Each structure stands twice: as structure tokens, then as C-alpha cells.
Chains A and B, each alone.
Chain A
Amino acid sequence: MGVVEDTEPPLKRAKTLADEPNGFSGNSSVRGSSVNSSLGDLMARPLTSQGDEETIGSKGVIRKSEFVRIITKALYSLGYDKAGAMLEEESGFPLHNSIVKVFLQQVKDGKWDESVVSLHRIGLPDETAVKSASFLLLEQKFFELLKIEKIVDALGTLRNEIVPLHINSKRVHELASSLISPSNFISHTSSAPGKESVNARSKVLEELQNLLPASVMIPEKRLEYLVENSLHIQRDSCVFHNTLDSDLSLFSDHQCGKHQIPSQTVQILESHTDEVWFLQFSHNGKYLASSSKDQTAIIWEINADGHISLKHTLVGHQKPVIAILWSHDDRQVITCGAEEVIRRWDVDSGDCVHTYEKGGMGPISCGWSPDGQGIIAGMTDRSICMWDLDGREMECWKGQRTQKVSDIAMTDDGKWLVSVCKDSVISLFDREANLERLIEEEDMITSFSLSNDNKYLLVNLLNQEIRLWNIEGDPKIVSRYKGHKRSRFIIRSCFGGYKQGFIASGSEDSQVYIWHRSTGKLIVELPGHAGAVNCVSWNPTNLHMLASASDDGTIRIWGLDRINPQNQKKQVQASSSNGVLHRCNGN
């Protein structure tokens, strides 16, 4: 709502100009109207040649007159009326053509008949626009007459001025009916008539803006809009962008350096005694859960200063623990022992609350049902089972999957059950509607992960490619990511960073790989681990914290490249071979 109530200077100006018609050749001549030729002199300004041809800027695409006029408009919007008026005068580019100025003033003053005349004098090429605008003006005249109870005059307006326009007959009927029952007609507020008409007139101006071409009546906030667009584009093209929007400045092009991407090892967690196969941050970003070939899982706590310490070691499985997943409220986790059992644990106490098993076969993947009321598991006999929390089997889907070792997941809204059903095909099964959508890939699928918003699926293929699919509606492939190494193991990848704009993955060459999600560009490779990196997880609430799990038995926490004196002890240099490594045995 940027219509500025007129203060003195423009008013005076308008009146003066109305007396000495000022033919401003600029835009009107483009419109091909004959208005100006019938009006007086050009306002003589020695410096500026006021054709449309004059451009500024290095590329010659910005028209000077337009540029100055939107700045003028911005000044008025900001409330700097004096500055706005000065700019108009100094540049010789009036914000509005004199006719338009007069017209706008007349609208503000409620001089409807004069405004209609001015409207025609503006000389719009589009007849319909002229008619619609006239309608608007006369309609307001009609209402204002009704307000002051000049019914006869109002009727006259309706009959003689509005009807001949031959448009919007429905509205005409409404107006007619409001003559009969004035209580029907819309009042904006019930405040004093003076205020009300001002509000109503502002509304008229707003609507006129929609009808009149932009060059005649410059849209509100045009300059702000252009600047915002530009910032938007800069931000989107910034490949390393991993900060909050408040960091965007107008003074220089936005370009994050790599320093916003977590690429320094800030902590190494060594509590596992064998290969670490899986890890995941909790939804609230306060905890990290990891699971290992050493048959245990560990829940780690992230302290306020970012340091991580061991909270509980979950002991009980008799086989390597291949996954550990957080419930939606982060109060419980489930762990999957390889072809063994699924266990549910309480995070606070570290106790095993329940064990889920099915005689004769073991689970090889698992998940929470979205309402937290059930557990799903992919079993070695290729079926998918669902238990309620107490262990009663609720459902069992058989025969879908052809591979023993494959991921399953359920979307947060409980709608889709995602699983690998044939070597290179992923099934998205709608449980309610009992229909299935398929993603057919080019090679065998080794693992997948869902995005937080359930709209995207990241698929890891046998041939070392990671593919991003949009699963809203018919599945469509969106991007591909390459560069990491995978030939023997299940390597997992994840989304992360600002607006999940990055893809991170483990790799068999012991490095962590990070790509820019929308461009597919590989932006960092992080060495450090001494064995294959099996799984990565990006903290959902801390843009700058990434965790990786490796065959070397350790978990590395990656953060920003910043030596903070307070955290000096806990910081680790990237080239760590000679540097001092601060190892945390997490007690």
C-alpha cells in the first residue's frame, strides 16, 4: 500500500503544470498519442535529451527515463517527498506525465468528472482499459453521491454515464440495487466520511494501477522488486550458499566462499570398536545416533558449544547393527541387527524397551511409521512387515521385493511406502489408495534416502552415480551427482545445508563428497578418514555441522574453517598429519 497522500509540493506543482500544459515527449510519444502535440512547450532543460533512446549502464539496456522515474517513485514511497520532487525537477523526468499527474490528483480530490476527462486525454491506446478505468471512476462518484444522499444525482450518473460504457453489466445491476437499498452497498469502514472517502479513493488508485499501463502509472515498489529479484538470482547461483538470508548485502554480489561449507574436522568420535556403518542426527539436531559392526549403537549428545559427548551405548544386539533411526519426537530410536531383530530404545534412559522379531527370518532394513505407532521392517524373505509398538504384527506385504538387501522407508505423512522392489526399480506404494508408482533406474540400486519434505528421493546406484528424483506426482529425475567411489559396499548419501541445497555422500576412497544440489557441481572432497566412509548425516538445525561414519571405526564431525580462540582446543586442522588431533573418547 504505497500510495502516498499528497503533501504540498507535488500539489502545487500539479496545479502549476495544469495551467501550463507541459508536453513531456518521453513516453507519450512512444504511445503514439497526439496529446502532446496539442500542448505547449517542452520544458527546456539544457542537459538532458529527453528521448527514450538515452540509456545508462554498461549494457545499454536501462532506459534513463525509466530508471530515474522508478527512483523517484521509490523516494515518494519511502516518504521522501521533497527529495522526490527535487529529483523530478533536476532530472527533467517527471514521475508522471503532466496529464497523468493532473489525473491522479483529481482522483485523490474526488473530482470525478474532471478525472474522466483527463483519463481520455492521457490517450491510452487500449479502449477497454479506458472504459474500465472510467467505470471505476464513475462508480466511485456514484458511491460518493450516495453517501451524501444525492440519490437523484447518483441515478443520473448511473444512467447517463456508467451505462453507456456498456461494460460490466452485472456490476451495473448491483449498483442499481444499491440505490434502492443503500444498506446493501459496501462501505469500507464506518468512520468519518472524510476518512472513508480518502481510503476509498486510495483503493481506486490501486485498482487504476492495475488497469493503466506501467509506463503511465508506475507500479508501486517497482525498484524494491527489481532489487529483490537480483538478490534472489545471486543467492540461487551461489554454489556454496549455506547461510541465512540476513547475510545478503546490496553492496557486493553475493558469493559465498567455500568457507560456509563444513570442511574441517572439528571432532573425532572414537567410541566404537569396529566399523561404523550408519549414523543420523535427531530431528531437533541435538543428538547424533550411530550404529556399528561392533554390535552396538551409540547416542551422542551435542552440547551448547557444539562439542559432542557420549550419552548412551546401546548394547544388546548379537549382530552388527546396520541402522539406527529416530522417532519423530526424538525420544526413541530403533536399531536393526543384521538379519537378527529390531530393538526399540528410550533415548533418555538408554534402555531397550522392546524387541521385534519374526521367527525364522531377520530384518535387513527398518523404519518408523509416521505417527510413531508402528515399526516397519524389510525382511530377508523379501517381505515387508509392520508391527505396532507392542510387537503385534499389523500388516505384511509379500513378494514385492526381489533383493534381500534393500532399503525401505515411509514418508512422514504415512502415505507412501518406499522400497526397492526389483534390482533397478523403486516402488512408491500408496497404502491407502493401494496404488503403486515406479521409479525405473538404469542400474542397480544400492541405497536411497528421502528428503525432509518427502518430495525428493536420492538414489545411489551400483555404477557410482547418485540420482535425485522428484517424487511429487509422476516421478521425474532431477539431477545426477558423480565423483565418489563405490564398488563393493553400501554407501549412503544425504541432503543438507541451507534449504537442503547440498548433497553429501560417503565414498570408498575414504573421503566425504559434497555437491551443490541444483547444479550438480562437486564442491568439496574431504579427506581425513582412514577407511571407506559408509554414511553421512547433516545436522538439520545446524547448517554447518556434518557427521561421517567410516570403516576406520571413527565418526568425524565436520565444521567451518574458523579458528575460534575459545574452541582452540577442540579445533582440528585439515591437514592433520602433523597437527595436533584432539580426540574425544566420548565418555
Chain B
Amino acid sequence: MGRLFVVNLEGKIYSCKHCKTHLALCEDIISKSFHCKHGKAYLFNKVANVSIGETEERMMMTGKHTVADIFCVSCGSIVGWRYETAHEKSQKYKEGKSVLERFKISGPDGSNYWVSSQGRHIGGSDADDV
């Protein structure tokens, strides 16, 4: 692994649970009501220090989207996904934005999120609560 290029954020930071690399700022949260396999997920305006995987079409609870998984640049663990395109008009606001799974990140106060042993499996999709 070469010499990593890692940026440092300032403020209330969410970082990678495994390696503490800064990933996003609290102020960039757009919505906290996203869901994934492991429970809650947050939609962020922008994230840092992630590398992006292959884009693919995925059927989410809210419809079909073109997404790509995002990985922490430092340790390589998957931390969420990014919306490349949304096929329905009402979902367009998500384009270009990224979701970080709460389970994968440490909050600004260092808090973590634990999936209960009876974690609901919602087949890899997201749902928007109003």
C-alpha cells in the first residue's frame, strides 16, 4: 500500500470505526433516516478519504438507483455507498451524495452503533422515513 493521501477534517467528525480515518462532518448530514442491512445509515452531502467501487444498478426500497460502494482509503473496509443516478424524479436529490452506515463509523463523541443480534435484514436497501 503506497503512501496514503488522507485529509484531515475539522469539526464534529465521523471516522472509520476500524482505523479512525476521518470520513465526514456532522454538518454535512442531510438525512439520518436511511437504513441498510446493518441498521441505520446517514446521507451526507460530502465525504472524505473514500475510494469508490464499481457502479451497479440496485433496487432499493425507494426504487431503482445506480450506486457504487465506497471504501475507507486507509483500511479498505466498506463504509457505505454513493448514489450516482436515481431513476425516479423524487429521488434525484440523492445524486452525487453518499451514505455512510452508522455501524461502520464512530461518531464525533467516539460513540459506536451496535447491531442487535436480531438485526433486521432489510435486503440491502434504504427507506426514507418522513
Contacts and interface: CB of A to CB of B under 8 A. Distances in A.
Contacts of B1: 275, 488-489, 551
B130 interface: no
Interface in A516-535: 531-532, 534
A487 B2 contact: no
B52 interface: yes
Interface string B1-35: 11111111000000000000000000000000000
A444 interface: yes
A322 B3 contact: yes
Interface string B61-74: 00000000000010
A423 B5 CA distance: 12
Contacts of B73: 487-488
Interface residues of B, number: 11
B7 A488 contact: no
Interface centre among A403, A444, A489 (most CB of B within 10 A): A489
A74 interface: no
A227 B8 CA distance: 57
Interface string A377-417: 00000000000000000000000000111000000000000
B8 A446 contact: no
B7 A277 contact: no
B51 interface: yes
A254 to B, nearest CB: 39
Contact of A490 (B5, B8, B51, B52): B5
Given A487-B52, A487-B73, A488-B51, A403 B8 contact: yes
A239 interface: no
B5 A489 contact: yes
Nearest to A446: B5
Contacts of A366: none
A551 B4 CA distance: 12
Contact of A275 (B2, B5, B8, B52): B2
A491 interface: yes
Interface in A484-500: 487-491
Contact of B2 (A403, A405, A444, A488): A488
A211 to B, nearest CB: 64
Contacts of A277: 2-3
A553 to B, nearest CB: 12
A14 interface: no
Contacts of B3: 277, 320, 322, 489-490, 534
B6 A405 contact: yes
A86 B130 CA distance: 98
A572 B73 CA distance: 35
Interface centre among B2, B52, B73 (most CB of A within 10 A): B2
A489 B2 contact: yes
Contacts of A489: 1-5
A552 to B, nearest CB: 11
A462 interface: yes
Interface string B95-126: 00000000000000000000000000000000
- Chain B interface helix/strand/loop/mixed: loop
B7 A487 contact: no
Interface string B58-88: 0000000000000001000000000000000
B27 to A, nearest CB: 16
A275 B4 CA distance: 12
A168 to B, nearest CB: 68
Contacts of A446: 5
Interface string A533-568: 010000000000000000100000000000000000
Interface string A285-324: 0000000000000000000000000000000000010100
Nearest to A275: B2
A462 B2 contact: no
B47 to A, nearest CB: 12
A404 B2 contact: no
Given A487-B73, A488-B73, A404 B8 contact: yes
Contacts of B7: 403, 423, 444
Contacts of A551: 1-2
B51 A487 contact: yes
Contacts of A275: 1-2
Given A487-B51, A487-B73, A532 B2 contact: yes
A551 B6 CA distance: 18
A491 B2 contact: yes
A402 B32 CA distance: 29
A488 B5 contact: yes
Nearest to B6: A405
A555 to B, nearest CB: 14
A55 B3 CA distance: 64
Nearest to B50: A487
B102 to A, nearest CB: 24
Nearest to A550: B2
Nearest to A462: B5
Nearest to A444: B7
Contacts of A462: 5
A488 B51 CA distance: 7
A146 to B, nearest CB: 79
Nearest to B74: A488
A143 to B, nearest CB: 74
A446 B6 CA distance: 9
A486 B2 CA distance: 11
Nearest to B72: A488
Closest 8 CB pairs of A and B: A489-B2, A487-B51, A488-B73, A534-B2, A446-B5, A490-B3, A490-B5, A532-B2
26 contacts: A275-B1, A275-B2, A277-B2, A277-B3, A320-B3, A322-B3, A403-B8, A404-B8, A405-B6, A423-B7, A444-B7, A462-B5, A487-B51, A488-B2, A488-B73, A489-B2, A489-B3, A489-B4, A489-B5, A490-B3, A490-B4, A490-B5, A491-B2, A534-B2, A534-B3, A551-B1
Interface of A: 275, 277, 320, 322, 403-405, 423, 444, 446, 462, 487-491, 508, 531-532, 534, 551
Given A277-B3, A320-B3, A404-B8, 9 more contacts: A277-B2, A322-B3, A423-B7, A444-B7, A488-B1, A490-B3, A491-B2, A508-B2, A551-B1
